[in-house]
Amino acid sequence: MTTSKVDFSSVGWGSVEWTNLVTLYLRAHESRSRHPILGDHAAGAAVDRIDYDFKRIHRNSLPASNQYLVVLRAKQLDEWCAEFLTAHPDAVVLHLGCGLDGRAFRLAVPPSVRWFDVDQPSVIALRRRLYDETEHYRMIGSSVTDPQWLDQIPTGHPTLIVAEGLLMYLREDEVRALLQRLTDRFDSGEMHFDTLSPRAPLLSKLLTKGIIKWGIGNARELESWNPKLRFVERTSALAGYQEIDNAVVRLIFRLTSALPDYDTINRFTYSASQVGG
Ligand SMILES: C[S@@+](CC[C@H](N)C(=O)[O-])C[C@H]1O[C@@H](n2cnc3c(N)ncnc32)[C@H](O)[C@@H]1O
């Protein structure tokens, strides 16, 4: 990571880049709490280096409770990711829709792993001002719906694909095409991603200008879209609520985690040999 201060004051309030600054701030804030759940010190170090009106973000982001929306999901995905990397220290990781998240720096990634963070060019441009590339860590600025970027990723290794807070922003045909391109290119590995309910796009039309495009009741259905995929498990993105130390906030998260429309995290394996198996 470069160490000099970086000026992010041009990031517009409410933009996608700003949303990423909010989630980065929430992870940093949580890392400084008395009993951190995620303990994302890389986010803390990143926020310390960024010149931005974080006081205003703090006032608007309700960190005392909203930090858990971010860290509980990230923690579960980190655990699955760590399991995969322990089993496959020669893995390739694709972290799609990475935003400013520092999963590659938060986890103890074996030195033999090759990690690719992918997001829209404007987000990656911001990321490049914060993080340096190495032989084993690269950033790719592209829409994941563009087929070209995949040409840059090596094949022949177990490949982990993590997409946190991404697929709901794509249309269903784009999700289908992306999954197909990924399983066509890579022989085997796992996919970890979260999904919203089928009602989410309609609610988003009413409440958030229709930014949510895709939802699905049970992501297990993806097995019928793509025969190389095998469902492994799914859980509420808030399933780790027991770790919240404040009893009132814990209760709110317990109730929210039981809502059928809440964000679900899904884990799949994929392999050509699974077809018909
Ligand atoms: C809600 S943010 C999540 C960021 C990060 N994964 C996290 O959890 O903090 C969604 C991210 O997906 C990215 N995104 C949305 N559509 C995309 C696309 N078609 N291609 C690449 N990235 C996309 C956005 O730029 C944004 O950074």
pLDDT in tens, 176-189: 999 999 999 999 99
Which residue range is the domain that position 160 belongs to? 70-274
Do residues 172 and 215 make contact, with C-beta atoms less than 8 angstroms apart? no
Token pair of 228 as six digits: 């190389």
Domains of the chain: total: 1
**pLDDT at res. 4:** 83
Residues with Cβ within 6 A of ligand 1? 16, 19-20, 23, 97-99, 101, 119-120, 123, 143-145, 164-166, 169-170
pLDDT in tens, 114-173: 999 999 999 999 999 999 999 999 999 999 999 999 999 999 999 999 999 999 999 999
Residue 254 lies in a domain: yes
23/39 Cα distance (integer angstroms): 14
Residue 107 lies in a domain: yes
Residue 258 lies in a domain: yes
Residues 21-35 have a mean pLDDT of: 96
Do residues 168 and 196 make contact, with C-beta atoms less than 8 angstroms apart? yes
Task: Indicate if the pLDDT at residue 226 is higher than 90.
Answer: yes
Average pLDDT score over the chain: 95
Residue 163 lies in a domain: yes
Confidence of residue 1 (pLDDT cuts 50, 70, 90): low
187/272 Cα distance (integer angstroms): 6
Do residues 102 and 74 make contact, with C-beta atoms less than 8 angstroms apart? no
Residue 55 lies in a domain: no
Residue 22 lies in a domain: no
CATH value at residue 144: 3.40.50.150
Residue 186 lies in a domain: yes
116/162 Cα distance (integer angstroms): 10
Residue nearest to atom 19 of ligand 1 (CA): 143
The Å distance, Cα 254 to ligand 1 centre, comes to: 26
Residue nearest to atom 13 of ligand 1 (CA): 97
Residue 45 lies in a domain: no
In the chain, helix, strand, coil percent, each to 5?
45, 20, 35
Fill in the amino acid letter for 189: G
| Nearest alpha-carbon partner for 86 in 190, 237, 232, 230 | 190
204/171 Cα distance (integer angstroms): 13
Which ligand 1 atom is the nearest neighbour of the CA of 143?
20
Task: Indicate if the pLDDT at residue 277 is higher than 60.
Answer: no
| Nearest alpha-carbon partner for 181 in 154, 216, 214, 148 | 148
pLDDT in tens, 228-243: 999 999 999 999 999 9
